[in-house]
Amino acid sequence: MPPAGWCWLGPVLAACGLLAVADGAAEAGGGAGAGAEAACPATLRSTGRCAAGGECAYEVRLPALTVQLPAQWGRLEEVFKEVQNLKETVNSLKKSCQDCKLQADDSRAPGRGGQLSPSPGAPGEAEDGRVRELESEVNKLSADLKDAKEEIDVLHGRLEELSLVNMNNIENYVDSKVANLTSVVNSLDGKCSSKCPSQEHTQSRPVQHLIYKDCSDYYTIGKRSSETYRVTPDPKNSSFEVFCDMETMGGGWTVLQARLDGSTNFTRTWQDYKVGFGNLRREFWLGNDKIHLLTKSKDMILRIDLEDFNGVKLYALYDQFYVANEFLKYRLHIGNYNGTAGDALHFSKHYNHDLKFFTTPDRDNDRYPSGNCGLYYSSGWWFDACLSANLNGRYYHQKYRGVRNGIFWGTWPGISEAHPGGYKSSLKEAKMMIRPKHFKP
Ligand SMILES: *[C@@H]1O[C@H](CO)[C@@H](O)[C@H](O)[C@H]1NC(C)=O
Ligand SMILES: *[C@@H]1O[C@H](CO)[C@@H](O)[C@H](O)[C@H]1NC(C)=O
Ligand SMILES: *[C@@H]1O[C@H](CO)[C@@H](O)[C@H](O)[C@H]1NC(C)=O
Ligand SMILES: *[C@@H]1O[C@H](CO)[C@@H](O)[C@H](O)[C@H]1NC(C)=O
Ligand SMILES: [Ca+2]
């Protein structure tokens, strides 16, 4: 039941053709039975038509009086404030980082002999501590930002449950703010670790190695062979091995999934998909917890490479890729498509994998009410009801009949055509990999 006094963006969103369900029948504390229309002091004005992407230009005017909103909106406001605070913190950090660079240049000046390990009590030591402090502040800030983002996700989930309103406009707005701040923090992080000599000193101690968050960091230090490497996307969490593709489109890719010969069974449990399985050099799923940490640590893009049994190779590129944590059922966030294979993850209104939860044969989080898509299609995936893409389906070495549970990409040329005898074709190879959005090989 929507709380009383609910009278916000409903009309304007409805005018833009978006879903808006505002239950006007106020059942109120204090007998405010006047109805939402009359009780609503806000005026709304559409400033034009909606863009193709569903974004609408509009104005909301609120009088000086307090407008009652559902409790959830209050929390959203807190998040906005938090984002604002974070922005200010980032600015001051940025400034102190510049200071740090100046000091670094000073300490490199002739006469000091490039000394990087000052004796106890020397000025360098205080500086060393300061940089570490700064670094931990930056890390904390990064974590805070992601928390804010996850909070938005939770909020979004709640609102969906309440069928109140389509949150996309607001969520996109906050998401873009958080993305922006995250990229500032990341670049700051980079500046601090590369420019401050005391930092280099710290890292040369055996206990505190330079942290490689993903394959792009290995690329940056000159690694050019496609191999397994150890990464630490979150210093507070564990390190793990990943396979790095240092060749495709400039390299620096962290591989999340690979299919090539059917040597690994992908019909697996929630727990298996959580921790990962298979062989990093052949077929594997890296693991949802690790994918979450990697996509949380930096803004990532996703590249999907596919090949069929005729040797046709196509790819799909998405300019945003984020997988939420287990609490949020590893919800998928996928951005704009570019490439040659077609946008099978946003196939249509009815088959859209964006913002879907992860489902496995033993854990049904899909949007299909009368069954489990993971069980039916032998896979763990971000199922809708059910799919237009399923790269974790069964591996078929040839055409097959029956349920379309093979490795499937719905926009593949000819894949959905009816074949004589009901034969279906599966893909021969699939690979999913990520790279930081701002990485330049
Ligand atoms: C972040 O926002 C500011 C102003 O709002 C803009 O100047 C800057 O280019 C943005 N940065 C990114 C990475 O989008
Ligand atoms: C894969 O594992 C599932 C579940 O354990 C099992 O039912 C299925 O037969 C296996 N598939 C193959 C090809 O071994
Ligand atoms: C990261 O840490 C959390 C607890 O802090 C844990 O639940 C999670 O499994 C860890 N992830 C990985 C990949 O180690
Ligand atoms: C797709 O990517 C190519 C190569 O990076 C670029 O030239 C092109 O403008 C992109 N197209 C779109 C629609 O973003
Ligand atoms: Ca279901």
The number of the ligand nearest the C-alpha atom of 317 reads 4
Q: Whose CA is nearest to atom 11 of ligand 1?
A: 180
| Residue whose entry in the numeric block shows the structure tokens 């999934």 | 257
Question: b vs e for 191-216, b when ≥16 Cβ sit within 10 Å of the residue's Cβ?
Answer: bbbebbbbbebbeeeeeeeebbbbbb
Task: Say yes or no: CB of residue 146 within 6 Å of ligand 3.
Answer: no
Instruction: Kindly give the distance from the C-alpha atom of residue 372 to the centroid of ligand 5, in angstroms, as a whole number.
Output: 4
Please give the C-alpha separations between residue 364 and each of 6, 181, 372, in angstroms, as whole numbers: 33, 35, 5
pLDDT number for residue 73:
59
Task: Say yes or no: CB of residue 289 within 6 Å of ligand 3.
Answer: yes
pLDDT number for residue 145:
72
pLDDT number for residue 351:
95
- Give the closest residue to 152 by CA, choosing from 177, 166, 171, 176: 171
Q: Which atom of ligand 3 is nearest to the CA of 238?
A: 14
Instruction: Kindly give the distance from the C-alpha atom of residue 332 to the centroid of ligand 5, in angstroms, as a whole number.
Output: 17
The number of the ligand nearest the C-alpha atom of 356 reads 5
pLDDT number for residue 84:
67
Task: Say yes or no: CB of residue 180 within 6 Å of ligand 1.
Answer: yes
Residues 6+ apart with CB under 8 A from 130: 100
Instruction: Kindly give the distance from the C-alpha atom of residue 105 to the centroid of ligand 2, in angstroms, as a whole number.
Output: 61
In angstroms, the CA 286 to CA 228 distance is 12
Instruction: Kindly give the distance from the C-alpha atom of residue 337 to the centroid of ligand 4, in angstroms, as a whole number.
Output: 9
Mutate which of 213, 238, 242 for ligand 3? The one with the most ligand atoms within 8 Å of its CB, which is 238
Residue stretches of the chain with pLDDT short of 70: 1-84, 86-87, 89-135, 138, 155-209
Task: Say yes or no: CB of residue 332 within 6 Å of ligand 3.
Answer: no
pLDDT number for residue 200:
42
Task: Say yes or no: CB of residue 237 within 6 Å of ligand 3.
Answer: yes
